[in-house]
Chains A and B, each alone.
Chain A
Amino acid sequence: MSAVLRAQALGKKYKRRWALQHCDLEVPAGRVVGLVGPNGAGKSTLLNLASGMLTPTVGTIEVCGGRPAEGAEQLAKVGFVAQDTPTYASLSVADHLDFGRRLNPDWDDAVALDRIRRLGLDLTQRAGKLSGGQRAQLALTLGIAKRPELLILDEPVAALDPLARREFMQDLMEAVAEHGMSVVLSSHLVSDVERTCDYVIVLVDSRVRVAGDVDQLVGSHHRLTGPRRDPATLPAGRHVISASHTDRQTTLLVRTDIPVHDPSWTVTPLGLEDIVLAYMTSPAEAFRDTRPVLEVLR
């Protein structure tokens, strides 16, 4: 399967701080990718690099087989809904559709009008008077009706209440199913991603901690509970993500492709949220060598 997003040794430095570094990614096409991580982890930087709003300091990034934002042809392939879903405050909803129609040769007017009608937006209303949720929906409509191969959304639901969040995500998923495009969306909430994404990238402290198919991640991570012991005594092929000990008991969160048969361990499956949180909270030293992780999961 061809990669919709490929990054090699990608890094971005602002003045003296690295916002993103040592980023190697290969995201297959046709997926809904969730990019999660705490605030300030570099999610926006990665997505802005992918949309060509920023240029890399080091390394390369390739999106849909081309350099981001290089020429009109490349721009047509990628839709980007930026953070805070910017729209022109003084332009009406109809003006925005006109804007999309005139600035995009592949514009799908039927889809745009249908979405606006379903959302119950008034065509004559100015975008500045819309609620945060309606504005996000308008920005999403512009992104979808552009008919890109890849739609990138940077924290699209950050400003929305829980109900609007759910509706937005549902709506996005319907559109994805209908038009068969790849999606990369970021969120600092795992729950947003868990419901909708089938591929996840965890970004912490400007580095990619783990990236992979959600089913594979869930299938290869387990919680082991048993009598207290040193995690280093585990057999090869098991990577400890986090460990906690009480006086008599040890709880480990491990990644392994080999089934655990040791009867002294109680093995419990993990949800995506547990896995992501474990990667987010565990110290960076544990993942000094991130390449094998990606190798296994690719």
Chain B
Amino acid sequence: MIWLTWRQFRTQATVVYLAVALLAALLAVTGPQLAELYAATGDDLFGRITSADQTVYYLGLAIVLLIPAVTGMFWGAPLITRELEAGTYRLAWNQTVTRTRWLATKLTLTGVATMAAAALASLAVTWWSGPIDQAVNSGGTGADPFYPRIDPLVFGGRGIVPIGYAAFAFILGVTLGVLVRRTVPAMAATLAAFATVQIAMTLWVRPHLASSVDADLAFTEAKPVNIGIDTVREVDFGQPGAWVLSEQTVNASGQPATLPASLTDCPSMPDCTAALTRAGYQQQVTYQPAGNFWTLQWTETGLYLSLALALTGFCAWWIRRRLT
């Protein structure tokens, strides 16, 4: 059964693992230089970083983010559906191998391959990006094109969450495949469903996976970065590695308020800040501190793996009950 699974899977496996290997090679070649540069320059890293490094940074991030979606679509969705479409499941199910073993072998081998591909890519990218992530978190100047690793844009391309994503996307593909019973629509449905779950997770679930910090900050400690017409949109409160969930400007009595009229004619940012402070205004910030990164990683990975297990159970039940 292992032989059959491998025989049917080897082409797709080769393509994805080749891509991961190429990425790993690219990172292995460029990574040491970046690490040396960081060791030499410290937080001035961003002044010396090359545009090539920036390209590699985003390329690696994109690949790690894409692997779960790609394996879910191209490994998960066709895994059982292709057999249903071609009728070959009737050949496979009449050998001396029970359906349970057939399904378990296919799901285990392909699922583990998916998770391993995501793990390898994420490991390589996390290692390569280490200096940049550290420089961002310690407030290196000129970090504009880079985001802290806890930020939603980068979070899914670091650490262990890609493994959870990959496991979930894979079994999601398998499940939608056996429900839809046609490969191409199942692939499209997998992509749509996976993207929906990822967005929902980032917007509504992840902020609550670790305890966030609520802080009322005077404008002396939170420097306005972006002031809108009636509110301070963004402040720098000395935690460049944090993920800001929400922030709003409140008046002296702690109520959300529009900015005082006197602010419209302050000539410069320090003047504005001084005016706001005099009026007793504060910025209310809710954020996930940088230190919560690994708590969020482990919790979210666990959540995705649990979802994957639940889908596996459903998939096995469906194949045993509904396809007969």
Contact = CB atoms under 8 A, between A and B. Distances in A.
Contact of B87 (A51, A54, A84): A84
A105 interface: yes
Q: Which of A54, A82, A84 has the most CB of B within 10 A?
A: A82
Q: Which of A69, A76, A103, A106 has the most CB of B within 10 A?
A: A103
A106 B90 contact: no
A119 B8 CA distance: 26
A197 interface: no
Contact of A103 (B4, B86, B90, B324): B4
Interface string A151-168: 000000000000000000
Interface string A43-84: 000000001111100000000000001011001101110101
Q: Which of B7, B8, B86, B90 has the most CB of A within 10 A?
A: B90
Contacts of B96: 72, 75-76, 103-106, 146
Contacts of A71: 98
Contacts of A102: 1, 3-4
A95 to B, nearest CB: 7
A89 B86 contact: yes
A54 B91 CA distance: 14
Contact of B7 (A52, A75, A91, A100): A91
B50 interface: no
A142 interface: yes
B103 to A, nearest CB: 14
A89 B96 CA distance: 21
Contacts of A79: 94
B3 A98 contact: yes
A18 interface: no
Contacts of A184: none
Interface residues of A, number: 32
B318 interface: no
B97 interface: yes
B3 A75 contact: no
A79 B7 CA distance: 23
Interface residues of B, number: 20
A4 interface: no
B233 interface: no
B87 A103 contact: no
Contacts of A142: 91
Given A88-B8, A88-B88, A102-B3, A55 B97 contact: no
A52 B90 CA distance: 10
B7 A95 contact: yes
Contacts of A139: 91
Contacts of A53: 90, 93-94, 324
B80 to A, nearest CB: 14
B98 to A, nearest CB: 6
Interface in B48-105: 86-88, 90-99, 101
Nearest to A100: B95
Contact of A72 (B3, B87, B98): B98
Nearest to A73: B96
A38 to B, nearest CB: 23
Contacts of A220: none
A80 B86 CA distance: 16
Given A54-B324, A82-B87, A103 B97 contact: yes
B155 to A, nearest CB: 39
A250 interface: no
A55 B324 contact: yes
Contacts of A103: 1, 4, 92, 95-97
Contact of B94 (A78, A84, A98): A78
Interface string A130-147: 000000000100100010
A82 B4 contact: no
A82 B84 CA distance: 13
A116 B91 CA distance: 18
A89 B98 CA distance: 22
A137 B92 CA distance: 17
Nearest to A91: B7
6 contacts: A52-B324, A75-B95, A87-B88, A88-B86, A99-B7, A142-B91
Interface of B: 1, 3-4, 7-8, 86-88, 90-99, 101, 324
